Amino acid sequence: MTKLSVNINKVALIRNSRGEDLPDLMQFAVDCEEFGADGITVHPRPDERHIRYDDIPKLKAIVSTELNIEGYPSERFLKMVEDNSPNQCTLVPDPPGVLTSNEGWDTSKEKDYLIDVIARLQAKNIRVSLFLDPKLDMVEQAKATGADRIEFYTGSFAKHYIQDSNAAIADHIAAAKLANQLDLGINAGHDLNLNNLKFYASEIPKLLEVSIGHALISDALYYGIKNTIQLYKRLL
């Protein structure tokens, strides 16, 4: 079964809005695991508007499933990842100041840079995934970087899913088949939700993991976090 990693950035955003510890981010992470989440994802940004860098050691100490840290590989970010040794680091090409991650790496243009960064993290026994658009040439060059996995950016799929689900997912299927041939693990994330997740997961061969935050936390406002996690798990 495809694993569900819950991104808790939005929970941290609510906490930070009052400068207090409510909601309790650490307890929330533990509860997500208890309710069925297969992992916890965080994406600390330079301005620390949601997940803060000082959250990471605390999460490392309590997460018992899988900790996935996403982010742009600045020197500060890389040192933090090395110091905390998450199970997985997902490298995302979003420079400081962007609102959200909305495109994948150009693995051809950035190949040499990524080779060095990936080797540095793998030397610490950290699995490395590259945030990627579903393009055959980007998948092929991702393999050349030495990455263990790729994470398909699913924002465009989600945007066009209602109009034509088959057309929306066609590039993802082709890219996934190539990734399987190259022995690249496949993750996916961005704008996956209760409406489109089952279709996406059923169509992508050997989909290992999805990381979902914004939609899942929004659904939890209505259904509660325990019920929401179970709803997403059933779709997988």
Tell me which of 33, 50, 151, 190 is the catalytic residue.
Answer: 190
Tokens of 95: 């420079």
For residue 23, whether the previous peptide bond is cis, meaning omega lies within 30 degrees of 0, is: yes
Angle, CA of 197, 147 and 176, to the nearest 5°:
35
Catalytic residue of the set 66, 70, 151, 209: 70
CA nearest neighbour of 176 among 167, 185, 165? 185
Catalytic residue among 33, 43, 151, 172: 43
Active site residue 214: no
Q: How far is CA 25 from the centre of its chain?
A: 18
Amino acid at 108: S
- Distances from the Cα of 45 to the Cαs of 77, 94, 101, in angstroms? 9, 9, 11
Is 70 known to be catalytic? yes
> Which residues form the catalytic set?
43, 70, 190
